[in-house]
Amino acid sequence: HARLVEALEALPPDQQERRAVELAYHASEAEAAVGADKLIRYSSMAGDQALAAYAYEDAVRHFQRALDAKDGLAMDDQTVEALFGLGRAQGAIDQVTEAWASLNRAFDFYVGSDDMPRAIAVAEYPLFHVPGLTDTTRMASKALELVPSESHEAGRLLSRLGLLVNLETGDHARAQEHLERALTIARRIGDVALEMQTLVNAADVDWYHLRWKEAIARSEQSVERARREKDVNAEIWPHFLAGTTHWYLGNLDEAERHAKVMLDLAGSVRNRGFLANAYTLNAWVAYSRGLMSDAVEFYDQGLELAPGFFMPLAGLVRLSYETGDFERGDAHLERVLELMRNTPRGPSGEYLSVATTIPVTAYISGDSGRFDIARKAAETVLASPHCSPIVGMSARIGLAFIAILEGDESAAAEQHAALRPLQGGFIDDGVSAIDQVMGLLARTMGNPEQAAAHFEDALTLCREGGYRPQLAWACCDYADLLLQTEDADLDNAMSLNDEGLAIVQDAGQRPLRERLAALRELAESRPSTAVPNSRRTGVDGFTARETDVLKLIAAGMSNQQIADELVISIHTVIFHVRNILSKIGAANRAEAAVYAAQRGLTEK
């Protein structure tokens, strides 16, 4: 082996680099003869090659072998370069905690050696991140103190720091302050790459704070610049941000477009973190199309890449329950609980997944046996001063379902008020539109008319967006409400029931199919009253919500004013206005206002 190392070293440098793996192997077999320095040098060279080829597991093995050769010896430049390489490779295969530890050690060495260029390179490295990690701002903050305030280096560090401040503290104002400074520096010096990265980071911050319009705009800008610069890595994450945001807003076609592109790009660079998120986003889309088997496959692929990633794991729990495979769902749920137990307390995804998954699966199955665990997890998330709005709202979805299933009127009122800003969209519990959850909460509060209005909005959103399983759940809950009223509107209840059944037959939602079948039996056992429900049908074939919108059009209100008055999204208002104009054959709002006045539908 030593002679083979000697022979390979006689080759020109470019050929030595191409055969770095062989050199590293033979140097490891002949370490006693060739010395640790050669083993470290060639193992690090092989690790760099593996990183460049996206062979991250190989890179971890090579860099770890180099570091093992230095075990017990003082750190030097050669050791720290291997440590930095190891951190980058670990980050790409979902060893996030280990990666941060490796980078922190490398950073401290370079700062202690006054090697600021390398310290900055470590501090600004875009290591994959998750909310709930602590002390992630330390490197960027420390490095920023050591460079001129308006320098190029400061711009790069500010961009990184803005992203990390939000993830670690949830402080939107401070995060955006850092990002604005970074953007100013980038544009002053004409650094397109820095501007592009800063826009992505700003979009990420907006995403966590439910600033959907800004998140989409910045993500689209980032995608455009990344394509212009042919920077594949920079293009991947903005597709996730834009795709999930479109999904939340009910724009399923746009969500699917971003999901597919992200999956292709993440596959091309073989980054496990990006790929696991891409598979998760594609699973959301597939589920919403009613393609349950496709969604399961996407989640399984994401989990295979990142076994400790809570998002695909929680998704598989919900899907297993929804398709009636409770045994598999329970097995996955145990893994979700184990992840939480091994995670420090805080507003992390591991705690959030427990807070939401248990109540949502109880809504499907009726099993409320673990509510204490879910409630404590949600309270842990919400009690943190660093809880960002999207994380907090997700935790409240879990508390909302607990209030609904326990019939707690006071708790339902609290969550109803808290979730109001999310109306007109979805959130990643998977099975419901926010308006549907609001309807269930209003019903729990003893307000069936308000519940019916929320269910109408949920139906509108799901039908227009093509969210089929969510529509089936909304049909079921609304039909149930109609059947429980004193003057039950059996015709409308049966129509909703039929619509829901048609969906679940294709989607394989067995528990929901059984629930709808039970509702149908209930409806068929009651004599038809043929009395229209006051919230379901208005005048001239309008739904009650359309009647409300028409009255406000006649009052001269804009779409935004109508949305504010009815506490619905402007997206839903536009849909109602379009339906109203179509039903009465009106060309514009003025003609609709005349129509309303003629029929006495003006506000008093």
Amino acid found at 155: G
Give how far the C-alpha of residue 302 lies from the chain's centroid of Cα atoms, to the nearest Å. 14
Q: 254-288 as b/e, with b when 16 or more CB fall inside 10 Å?
A: bbbbbbbbbbebbeeeebbbbbbbbbbbbbbbbbb
Could you tell me the CA-to-CA distances from 329 to 310, 322, 355 in Å, in that order?
14, 9, 16
pLDDT at residue 522, rounded to an integer: 80
**Token digits for 436?**
């549907």
- Tens-digit pLDDT profile for residues 230-281: 999 899 999 999 999 999 999 999 999 999 999 999 999 888 889 999 999 9
Mean pLDDT of 441-463: 95
Per-residue pLDDT for 204 more than 50?
yes
Q: Which of the pair, 553 or 545, is modelled with greater confidence? A: 553
**How many helices, marked H, and strands, marked E, lie in the chain?**
33, 0
pLDDT at residue 131, rounded to an integer: 57
**Token digits for 128?**
């994959």
What CA–CA distance (Å, rounded) separates 19 from 393? 53
Per-residue pLDDT for 379 more than 80?
yes
Which of 291-295, 335-339, 536-540 shows the lowest mean pLDDT across its residues?
536-540
Around Cβ 449, how many Cβ atoms within 10 Å? 12
Backbone φ, ψ for residue 426 (5° rounding): -130, 165
- Tens-digit pLDDT profile for residues 546-592: 888 899 999 999 988 988 888 765 656 776 787 788 778 888 899 99
pLDDT at residue 438, rounded to an integer: 96
Q: Which of the pair, 479 or 32, is modelled with greater confidence? A: 479
Q: Which residue has the tokens 């199919």?
A: 513
Three-class SS state of 293: helix
pLDDT at residue 365, rounded to an integer: 85
- Which residue from 433, 432, 453 is spatially nearest to 443, judged by alpha carbons? 453
Cα-Cα-Cα-Cα dihedral of 307, 289, 359, 458, to 10°? 150
- Which residue from 31, 30, 106 is spatially nearest to 75, judged by alpha carbons? 106
Per-residue pLDDT for 5 more than 90?
no
pLDDT at residue 212, rounded to an integer: 94
- Tens-digit pLDDT profile for residues 470-510: 999 999 999 999 988 777 788 898 999 999 999 998 777 88
Q: 118-130 as b/e, with b when 16 or more CB fall inside 10 Å?
A: bbbbbbbbbbbbb
pLDDT band with cut points at 50, 70 and 90 for residue 526: low
What CA–CA distance (Å, rounded) separates 451 from 127? 45
Could you tell me the CA-to-CA distances from 257 to 242, 261, 512 in Å, in that order?
10, 6, 29
Residue pair 277/255 in contact (Cβ under 8 Å)? The answer is no
Per-residue pLDDT for 604 more than 60?
no
119: Cβ contacts below 8 Å, ≥ 6 apart: 107, 110, 111, 143, 146
Mean pLDDT of 57-69: 92
pTM attached to this predicted model: 0.79
Q: Which of the pair, 6 or 583, is modelled with greater confidence? A: 6
Could you tell me the CA-to-CA distances from 95 to 27, 45, 100, 312 in Å, in that order?
27, 22, 9, 16
- Tens-digit pLDDT profile for residues 68-80: 988 777 888 888 9
Per-residue pLDDT for 535 more than 70?
no
- Tens-digit pLDDT profile for residues 108-166: 999 999 999 999 999 998 887 665 566 789 999 999 999 999 999 999 999 999 999 99
- Which residue from 516, 525, 602, 587 is spatially nearest to 557, judged by alpha carbons? 602
| Average pLDDT of the chain to the nearest whole number | 89
294-297: long-range contacts at Cβ-Cβ below 8 A with a sequence spacing of 24 or more? 295/319
pLDDT at residue 531, rounded to an integer: 37
Per-residue pLDDT for 539 more than 60?
no
Query: Per this entry, what is the length of the chain?
Result: 604
pLDDT > 90: what percent of the chain? 60
Q: What is the 3-state secondary structure (H, E, C) of 313-327?
A: HHHHHHHHHHCCCHH
**Token digits for 281?**
């986003």
Residue pair 577/566 in contact (Cβ under 8 Å)? The answer is no
174: Cβ contacts below 8 Å, ≥ 6 apart: 165
Per-residue pLDDT for 20 more than 90?
no
